[in-house]
Amino acid sequence: MDERDVTELLRDLPRARAGEGFTEAVRQRIRGGSPRPDRPRIVAAALAAAAAFALVAGLRLDALRRDREIRRETRALAREIEEMKRTLPSPLVEVGGENGARYVVDLRRLPGRRDGVL
């Protein structure tokens, strides 16, 4: 098949015609107007911004929740240590570790409570 055969085959194809309104749409775009509104882009950008905001807000709320839990646990530990200081006969407490190690804690050396926190 040579170039002349391809040219003849292409000529035999039905001519493509522009759809209704195509010419007017091209003219409007050339003039600077747009035949189709840019709303989908605006809506997509707004949805993306809202999703990003929701993600950041969710992460922030999760961090605040974890911070409250840590502070609550720290206060509970401080109360427990204060109670141990008052009630135990000896200020030395033996603490066993999971790895078989043993630790001795001198309650007198632990800092006092400051605003409910160690």
Note the pLDDT of residue 68: 94
| CA nearest neighbour of 77 among 100, 101, 111, 109 | 111
What is the pLDDT at residue 26? 83
Query: Predicted confidence band at 1 (pLDDT cuts at 50, 70, 90)?
Result: low
Distance CA 42, CA 49 (A): 11
Q: For the segment 57-92, what is each residue's pLDDT rounded down to a tens digit? A: 999 999 999 999 999 998 998 888 888 888 888 888
C-alpha–C-alpha distance, residues 8 and 90, integer Å: 107
Q: What is the pLDDT of residue 113?
A: 61
The pLDDT of residue 114 is 61
pLDDT of residue 104: 84
Q: How much is the pLDDT for 109?
A: 81
Three-class DSSP labels, the chain: CCHHHHHHHHHHCCCCCCCCCHHHHHHHHHHCCCCCCCHHHHHHHHHHHHHHHHHHHHHHHHHHHHHHHHHHHHHHHHHHHHHHHHHCCCCEEEEECCCCCEEEEEHHHCCCCECCEC
**How confident is the model over 26-61, as pLDDT tens digits?**
888 888 765 566 677 888 889 999 999 999 999 999
> Stretch 6-17: mean pLDDT, rounded?
78
Best CA proximity match to 80, nearest among 118, 25, 47, 42: 118
Q: Does the reported pTM lie above 0.75?
A: no
3-state secondary structure of 89: coil
